[in-house]
Amino acid sequence: MKFVSIMAFSLSVLFSGSVYADAVAGKSAYAAKGCIGCHGVGGQSMVSAYPVLKGRDVAFIVKNLTDYRSGARQNGTMNAMAAGLSDADIKNLGDYIGSLK
């Protein structure tokens, strides 16, 4: 039993605790949710109307997406974009965008 619980613990660390896995999920979400269409490949916006996200850290991305979703930060476009994001989406997007160098 002890072995089984140690195995289960190690697996949960591998799969849920891994920043790498979250960044991979965030990269898919960044494309699937349409972020890439405005903020560009690798967060390098091509149009000055859309902020460059590359170089922003995880905390900045998570806070601003949460604020757009709640309406604490007002912007018609981003309020609509964030409305459909789950907490997990926001965390994954933060991990991905925060990893862009």
Which residues contact ligand HEC by CB under 6 A? 33-35, 37-39, 49-51, 53, 61, 64-65, 75, 77-78, 81, 93
Q: How far is the CB of 47 from ligand HEC (least distance, A)?
A: 9
Distance from first CA to last CA of the chain, Å, rounded? 44
Rounded to whole angstroms, the Cα distance separating 19 from 15 reads 9
Closest CA to 61 of 41, 32, 36, 89: 89
Rounded to whole angstroms, the Cα distance separating 99 from 101 reads 6
| Residue among 5 and 74 whose Cβ is closer to ligand HEC | 74
Q: How far is the CB of 37 from ligand HEC (least distance, A)?
A: 5
Q: Which residue's Cβ lies closest to ligand HEC? A: 35
Q: How far is the CB of 87 from ligand HEC (least distance, A)?
A: 13
| Residue among 2 and 101 whose Cβ is closer to ligand HEC | 101
User: Are 65 and 98 a contacting pair, CB within 8 Å?
Assistant: no
